[in-house]
Amino acid sequence: MTIKEAQEAVDRWIKEYGVRYFSELTNMACLTEEVGELARIMARRYGDQSFKEGESHDPSEEMADILWVLICLANQTGVDLTEALQKSFEKKTKRDKDRHRNNPKLKA
Ligand SMILES: [Mg+2]
């Protein structure tokens, strides 16, 4: 599935099952909530926290939740995520093409 296809699929799902998009501010809060859920799993899996009984150990579900809400926000604010990601690659390449290679902290 391409990013464009994902944006179209989420839009179709919202129209068929979601009635309408939540407001942009509600979705922003939902995005923050989902990032927090991913942070909880990462802190337990890779950090010093331990899992509580019954908690999910799988970050993929939260990553998908984050992507879903981000796509909702893109759709309702008119952002083409394919184009935006391409621009981000260009920006990072121009800005950082030598920066990380020259960072001694990144060398083993
Ligand atoms: Mg979630």
Distance (Å) from CA 92 to ligand 1 centroid: 29
Distance (Å) from CA 37 to ligand 1 centroid: 6
Distance (Å) from CA 8 to ligand 1 centroid: 21
* Mean pLDDT calculated for residue range 19-34: 98
In whole angstroms, how far apart are CA 107 and each of 46, 97, 100?
21, 16, 9
Residue 108 predicted with pLDDT over 90: no
Q: For the chain, what percent of residues have pLDDT higher than 90?
A: 98
Mean pLDDT computed over every residue of the chain = 96
Closest C-alpha to 64, from 30, 91, 34, 105? 34
* Mean pLDDT calculated for residue range 55-67: 96
